[in-house]
Structure 1
Amino acid sequence: MISRVLEQLRQFNAREFLSQFISLAFVLCSALVIWKSVSIYTNCQSPIVVVLTGSMIPAFYPGDILFLSLSPEPARLGDIVVYKLEGKEIPIVHRVIRLHNVHNQTNLFEGKEDVNLKMLTKGDNNEYDDRFGIYTKKLQWLHRNHIVGRAKSILPYIGQVTIIMNNYPAVKYVVVGLLILLVLTNKE
């Protein structure tokens, strides 16, 4: 198969190669436009995330894809949020188990946004809340600025591909290389 692909590449003239390259660029640009459109629609910088660990079993399993949205309304007890902490590379998916409002308790019940609202989270499968091992030493509560989005829907197991490619980088390069070759050698 690879020899056939290489033979096809050798037979390309400059015009065919340029045409295929433009097709590849168009596919990549289309994917970027779709991603940005979904980001704007959901008000979420990262509207799709993959669950990487078992901390939320039985709600979510490693490899599940979550679709997120970030609405202006405050978080509620039981919401599943994705948050990102400074100094940590990967966002975390956990459930809000406690809310704390320093100055204005009425806003919690009226559904109004309150900048003083603080949240405590925990993985459903974890023994302790996130203050023990996940939050930084100075951080005891999450604030709104930590929240990336709230889980709105799930696509089970499809994200296993992402986990495999992260655990085995060589697989990622082989898959990407094969996809590029496929696009470049496609005559249609």
Structure 2
Amino acid sequence: MRKKTARTERDSGVQDTVVLATLKVIGRMGLAGVTHRAVADEAGLSLGAVTYYCRTRDDLVDAALQSAVDREARRLEALSARLKQDDFTTAPQWIEHLGRWYADELKDNADVHLACYEAFLAAARSEKHQQKVAALQQAWERTAEVALTAAGISSAADRAGIFVAALMGILLEELALPRRGTFARVSSKLTRLIEGWT
């Protein structure tokens, strides 16, 4: 394990390192795998540094899940803003962009997305996680509604929830069964879903 100086451990970036390491642990081992020692080993930090920023295991889990949810919500809001600027005017354009976006995401940031699903499971077991999960769900549905509207889909508000439910299931399958061709599969399934939604 790479040693850190006390000065480095006090740096503001250490907290981000702790959160990212916790996400990686969650991605590999689930919430049950989160311990201060596991996070310290993943981050290359001393146990004391991790404990300083997150005193309890629940603090580690909460910070990591909140970070994953916040990150995804910010990215969805950015995509929504692009859609409002008419970058995508047809459903195929949007589906292609979304497919490529998530194919890259699942390749490079699978841990973060696994943590989002862990957040949903945590919310099913504890009310304290429900607010953050509800915020993420709302961000997904807002973005889907904007996109469906921009693509000329009728009843976009009603269909946004259906689209998001399908997308979440598709992405979960890709995470559970990683293989080549993610973009083609995601795009094909989403395209088939919205066929006839005019």
> What's the TM-score, normalizing by structure 2?
0.22
Q: Which has the higher helix share?
A: 2
Q: Work out which structure has the larger RCO, using CA pairs closer than 8 Å and 6 or more positions apart in sequence.
A: 1
Which of structures 1 and 2 has the bigger CA Rg? 1
